[in-house]
Amino acid sequence: MTDSIQTTKNLQKPIKGRSLWIDAIGRLRKRKLAMICFGIILFYVFIACYVQVAEWTGSSWPTNWDESTGQKYESPNAQNIFGTDIFGYSILRKVLYGTKISLQVAFFASILSILIGVPMGAAAGYFGGFIDDVIVWIYSTLSSIPYILLILAFALVLKDKTPFGFKLAGATTVYLAIGLTSWVGICRLIRGEILKRKESEYVLAARAMGCSGGRIIFKHLLPNTFHIVIITFSLRFMSFIHAEVILSFLGLGEKDKPSWGAMIDSARLDLPKGYWWEMTAATLAILIISLALNIFGDALRDCLDPKLRTD
């Protein structure tokens, strides 16, 4: 016992190792462009959170987007820097409010698709055989249907349903529809990665030592594939924002609130008359975050992919 106390004392300062995560973050921080993009993404997230908090606390700005702040179709000016729409509503407030809806949809859809895709992919890859056949069959079927059509079908089916006494409407329908259809990509990636890694020697060593299947999946395999989840999360986030825009544009998303898609939908009729500012504001908002997510996601992939760092 005294011996064990001594060894523990000697160990007061074992050298702290640098994990692969810390390494990756260090490399990421050296990339200026990626960090600028990360700042832009954080700014969007901040706006979304601010709007949500304002809504909860009953604060007026910018949740009072449905109050007219001027004449109809005012071009951008000092009072309304993005101008006003047909009802004289401030387009700035609509864009800010739309940020919340878009980010909310993309966030929940990503979480949902990861929660479905990762366990399915891990199970298919690790257990193989019948389980693998069933899961591959399901995702092959889903991925053979054109993506937008599939989301539309899900959104139509889910719309105004009340499972468990909870009415599905607006943004909830949209992110359920996107989440339930888009787990295929991550599932396939994780399955492939697990298939590759389950033959590696550290997994063999874990099996030789008597680890259970669950322990091998959760302690050995998933931590080594988690960077893929993060990279996919950042890259898919963008396509989920686009999907929300398309669904809203087609009239299946938010009806009563101004999402970016709904704004583009209403502005499409104004554009031929020369009222370009609503379309421009919504499109710019989408363009900037898409670009930021894309560049940041690429940088993330470069930094997290262990293949670029072998030793």
Partner 1 sequence: MPSNIMSETKKHLVEVKDLKTHFPIKAGVLSRTVGHVKAVDGVSFTIEAGKTLGLVGESGCGKTTVGRTLIRLIPPTAGAFTFEGEDIFVASTGRMKAIRRDIQMMFQDPYGSLNPRMTVETIVGEALGVHRISTGNKRRDRVVDLLKKVGLSPEHLNRYPHEFSGGQRQRIGIARALALDPKFIICDEPVSALDVSIQSQIINLMQDLQSQLNLTYLFIAHDLAVVEHISDWVAVMYLGRIVEYASREELYANPKHPYTRALLSAIPEPDPTRRKPRILLAGEVPSPSNPPSGCPFHPRCPLAEEQCRHQIQALLPKGDSDQHVAACWKVK
Using the rule CB under 8 A, is 310 a contact of partner 1?
Answer: yes
Q: Which stretch binds partner 1 (CB under 8 A): 92-100, 156-164, 166-174, 212-220?
A: 212-220
Choosing from 165, 210, 214, 274, the residue that interacts with partner 1 (CB under 8 A) is 210
124 contacts partner 1 (rule: CB under 8 A): no
Say whether residue 209 binds partner 1 (CB under 8 A): yes
Point out which span in 35-43, 91-99, 184-192, 208-216 binds partner 1 (CB under 8 A). Answer: 208-216
In the set 215, 268, 287, 308, which binds partner 1 (CB under 8 A)?
215
Q: Give the C-alpha separation, 300 to 16, whole Å.
A: 24
Identified binder of partner 1 from the candidate list 208, 256, 272, 307, rule CB under 8 A? 208
Q: Which of 90, 102, 110, 224 binds partner 1 (CB under 8 A)?
A: 224
Q: Is 140 in the site for partner 1 (CB under 8 A)?
A: no
Cβ proximity to partner 1: between 207 and 242 the closer is: 207
Contact between 277 and 74 (Cβ < 8 Å): no
How far apart are CB 18 and partner 1 at their closest, in Å?
Answer: 7
Smallest distance from partner 1 to CB 228, Å: 13
Regarding 213 and contact with partner 1 (CB under 8 A), the answer is: no
- Give yes or no for residue 26 binding partner 1 (CB under 8 A): no
Binding region for partner 1 (CB under 8 A):
3-4, 7-8, 10-11, 13-20, 200-202, 204-212, 215, 219-220, 223-224, 306, 309-311
